Amino acid sequence: MKFDALLKTDSLKQAAHAAEAAERLGFSGVWTNETAHDPFLPLAAAALRTSRIELGTAVTIAFPRSPTVAAYTAWDLAQASGGRFILGLGTQVKAHIERRFSATWDAPVERLRDYIGAVRAVWRCWQTGERLRYESPHYNLRLMTPFFSPPPLSDPARIPPIYIAGVNRRLCRLAGEACDGFHAHPFHSIRYLSEAVLPWIEQGLSQSGRSRSDFQVCVSVFTTLGQGEERERARIETRKQLAFYASTPSYRTLLALHGWEEIGHALSQLATRGKWDEMGALITDDMLTQFTVEADTLAAAATLIAKRYAGMADRVALYTPFVPGERDPEWEAAIAAFAL
């Protein structure tokens, strides 16, 4: 099992420094997400400051970008990193796609399938000289001249793998059918992974004629750290994070599995009224146990996570971003726990 880090990307210099430090400490990979910052730019800076560590988006939002635009960016990152880049894609939800990005929301699973096919068609054109002819219900690409084509990568193995993120059955199956890996949402439980996510992925793998060994499952984990008052403060913050995700209808399948669907409805009502400060109180201690790992230190949490996800995940990262210089000895001990 690989132990990765989530990069803090408040600035490009900070991200490059953090990636360099993560490589030095022994992390296997670093990931960026698309929240308050662009997910690609920090990895460009990181690629130039590192030589071993893998670099990926977890995730970038697909639909606001044309597949060709995403293909160019991923190709450049693959070239700059020497083949260490992983393209992680996500759909987001309708409200964000339409109202934050002013993009089109339409049949997201089918559209993401077409998007992945389009990106790979562009890459084949660049790598092999194959004529670009990709036609699908959502994307049609038929023009690529030499002037607009970057050189092939020195090794076809450096073409980026594609991972997608998801929560429910259809995206999990799509990952198994058409992708190289899957980012499990941090809002999950071991029961949900074992009874829902992994079986759905296996269904997709069966459709594509592949086995589980051909595929990477990546998991981000909520952790609550500290002792005494520090632990209690951490619990309060974790409850807020869990409440935010649990208020989203997309995650109702997970809540229903545990019998907490009514809590999800109540959280949605509070979110609709803007009662964000009141939502954390609805997250019970039992929910904390199912959705988080609690420990005194990072190293202790890593030991618990390594045991908890053994045989289920191929890569694990903490939801808390890695900040170099903070708890470095604990991070080193945590990394060592995953190497056992």
Res. 120: pLDDT tops 70: yes
What is the pLDDT confidence band of residue 178, given thresholds at 50, 70 and 90?
Answer: very high
Res. 183: pLDDT tops 90: yes
Q: 77-98 burial string, b = 16+ CB within 10 Å, else e?
A: bbbbbebbbbbbbbbbeeeebe
Cα–Cα distance between 47 and 102 in angstroms, integer? 31
Averaged confidence pLDDT in the chain: 96
Domain range list for the chain: 2-224+293-339, 227-292
**Cβ–Cβ under 8 Å, residues 169 and 200:** yes
What pLDDT sits at residue 175? 98
Q: Give the residue-averaged pLDDT of 31-59.
A: 97
pLDDT in tens, 250-269: 899 999 999 999 999 999 99
**Interstrand relation of 140-141 and 134-135 (parallel, antiparallel or unpaired):** antiparallel
| Token pair for 171 | 């995206």
Res. 156: pLDDT tops 70: yes
Cα–Cα distance between 15 and 9 in angstroms, integer? 5
pLDDT in tens, 203-247: 999 999 999 999 999 999 999 999 999 999 999 999 999 999 999
Q: Give the residue-averaged pLDDT of 21-41.
A: 96
Q: What percent of the chain has pLDDT over 70?
A: 100
Q: What percent of the chain has pLDDT over 90?
A: 94
Q: Which residues contact 14 (CB under 8 A, 6 or more apart)?
A: 8
Global pTM value = 0.96
Res. 47: pLDDT tops 90: yes
Cα–Cα distance between 179 and 137 in angstroms, integer? 19
**Cβ–Cβ under 8 Å, residues 91 and 62:** yes
Task: Find the DSSP H helices in the chain.
Answer: 12-25, 41-49, 67-81, 94-95, 108-128, 169-178, 190-192, 198-208, 228-246, 252-257, 261-272, 276-279, 285-291, 298-308, 328-339
What pLDDT sits at residue 338? 80
- The widest CA-to-CA distance across the chain, in whole angstroms, is 64
Torsion sign (Cα): 124, 125, 128, 131: positive
Res. 340: pLDDT tops 80: no
- Would you list the DSSP string of 221-274? EEEEE-SHHHHHHHHHHHHHHHHHHHTSGGGHHHHHHTT-HHHHHHHHHHHHTT
Task: Indicate the Cα dihedral angle 21, 23, 28, 34, nearest 10°.
Answer: 50
Give whole-number Cα distances, 97 to 111, 167, 172, 182, in Å. Answer: 13, 17, 20, 21
What is residue 5's three-state secondary structure?
strand
**Superfamily in which the 2-224+293-339 domain is placed by CATH:** Luciferase-like domain (3.20.20.30)
Res. 176: pLDDT tops 80: yes
| Token pair for 115 | 């998007």
